[in-house]
Amino acid sequence: MLAMVLVVRHLLPLFHNINVPRGSFGWPLIGETFGFLRPHASTTLGLFLQNRVIRYGAVFTSHLFGEPTVVSCDKELSNFVLQNEERLFQCSYPAAIHGVLGDSSMLAVSGYRHHRLRNLFLSLVASARASPTYYAQVDRASLAVVSSWRGRRTVSFCDEARKFAFGVILKQVVGLSAEEPAAVDILENYLTFMKGLVSLPLRIPGTAYAKAVKAREKIACTLERVIQDRRERGSCDESVFLDGLLPSEGFSDKEKVGFVLDALLAGYETTSLLISMLAYFLGQSDKHIDQLKREHQSIRSSKGKDEFLNSEDYKKMEYTQNVINETLRCGNVVKFVHRKALKDVKFKDYVIPSGWKVLPILSAVHLDASLHVNPQQFQPCRWEGLKNQTASSKMLAAFGGGLRLCPGSELSKIEAAFFLHHLVLSYRWSIDGELDVPMAYPYVEFGRGLPIHIDPI
Ligand code: HEM
């Protein structure tokens, strides 16, 4: 009955002459969700969006995830939505995702609760970036993974990138090494968690979703033990996050565990995917690898043999930054974000009714030909000289925007840059880009795990 009332209330604007964007609602209840989620190469918008943009324009109405929705492939509307978080729009992930992420996840809370968790996150990221140990840790971990390939001709790159990103985030957030029993436990449950996050939300025992909710609880239990242990033993000098988090006042233990989980869950898969995408795009162009290699050779030549990379070296990686930006643009690690309208919002000549879902499509900004010449081509030089933060943030939406702009963006870029440093100085590699393309399910994955052929330099 309640569901019925909600459906009718949401659809009222259609009968009140409110000028909602054009579009279609699809089937009763399921709407057009299956079409929207149909897998496609992540370097494209996918047929569902392409067809509707042609038919209705860059902003259109649909019925997705059980709710009437305005989909935005329009760079101005998407930016407007992200910049008006908490005023006109609010982060609104489906209840099923809350079920897996937990109620105290940053993506599940809003207003004051979100504000204080976010500030804490930003201050811990700032401490990490100010600590020389952090850069040395990332450098050491990159070198360890890349040198472990000695004697091999092919590697399954996604596995290696995951191994690296998991090792780094675990050390940084909770101070654990990947081989410790608690870490092995977390990784095992994490994989179950990821599978469930994108599955049908059926809380029936045995389904991927139910297993994911359980896996999250198990990770939370392991983290509680790690936190307790750390309280008893004191600082471990290697985990900037946990050492900063434990003394912070005003946060319950549940919030602290939720916070650590957020950092692990949001930071692991995204960063490893970015690194795999780098290998994918660069592996199709010797020219870009050569230019990258020159930059890293020059940085290496200014350092002692066993000296670790530091923040100054990172600042010198200018071409690397262009390559990372271009990879984020072409690869589209996160395709869209979930929002809802808090009131009727007028934008241009249409209205987004209060309570409707709004999906800013981040990949549409990246593939917009009015912003990027030949958007289908991988051209790192298009970012040259674009130092101005505002200019580049309007052209690159990979980390979202506004009050929810990804707080881990710099950490993932540092990891990717240091990994590239060792990769380009140690190997030449090539891939057959036709064989394994990154697919958006909409979470992005390389179907074959991105096998690459490597030749030591
Ligand atoms: C290539 C790497 C990454 C990409 C593409 C990415 C992308 C994003 C995007 C698009 C959002 C916005 C979600 C929204 O507006 O609804 C976000 C939020 C977030 N990300 Fe990232 N992220 C990356 C890496 C990381 C890392 C390394 C961490 C942590 C160490 C992290 C932690 C978070 C957190 C906690 C939020 C929630 C922020 C909030 O709600 O205020 N991310 N990320």
pLDDT tens-digit readout, 72-95: 999 999 999 999 999 999 999 888
pLDDT tens-digit profile of 355-412? 999 999 999 999 999 999 999 999 999 998 876 566 667 899 999 999 999 999 999 9
pLDDT band at residue 170, thresholds of 50, 70 and 90? Answer: confident
362 CA closest ligand 1 atom index: 10
Output the six-digit token pair for 409: 């963006």
Report the CATH number of the 96-333+373-456 domain: 1.10.630.10
- Report how far ligand 1's centroid is from the alpha carbon of 256 (Å): 18
Please name the residues in contact with 265: beta carbons below 8 A apart, sequence gap of 6 or more: 101, 190, 193
**Which has the minimum average pLDDT: 2-11, 169-178, 222-231?**
2-11
Residues 14-33 have pLDDT tens digits of 655 678 999 999 887 788 99
Measured by CA distance, the residue closest to atom 9 of ligand 1 is: 399
Pocket probe for ligand 1: among 81, 83, 270, the residue whose CB has the most ligand atoms within 8 Å is 270
Q: What percent of the chain has pLDDT over 90?
A: 58
Q: What per-residue confidence (pLDDT) applies to 250? A: 79
Q: What angle do CA 77, 78, 81 make, to 5 degrees?
A: 85
Q: What is the DSSP string of 391-405?
A: HHHHH--TT--GGG-
**Residue 118: CB within 6 Å of ligand 1?**
yes
Ligand 1 mean position, distance from CA 266 (Å): 6
Between these two residues, 204 and 218, which has the higher pLDDT value? 218
Q: Is the CB of 360 under 6 A from ligand 1?
A: no
- Tell me what pLDDT residue 213 has: 86
Burial class (CB in 10 A: 0-12, 13-18, 19+), 214: middle
Using the CB atoms, write b or e for 40-54: b if 16+ within 10 Å: bebbebbebbeebbe
d(CA 429, CA 414): 22
CB-ligand 1 contact for 337 (6 Å cutoff)? yes
Residue 248 — very low, low, confident or very high, per pLDDT cuts 50/70/90?
A: confident
**Which segments within 103-187 are labelled E, that is strand?**
154-156
Amino acid at 13: P
Q: Which atom of ligand 1 is nearest to the CA of 405?
A: 12
Question: Which of 1, 27, 16, 36 has the alpha carbon at shortest distance from 357?
Answer: 36
Average pLDDT taken over every residue of the chain: 88
Residue nearest to atom 18 of ligand 1 (CA): 406
Structure tokens at 269: 């898969």
Between 129 and 363, the higher pLDDT residue = 363
Q: Which of 162-171, 184-193, 444-453 is predicted least confidently?
A: 184-193
Q: Where are the domains of the chain?
A: 96-333+373-456
Between these two residues, 343 and 240, which has the higher pLDDT value? Answer: 343
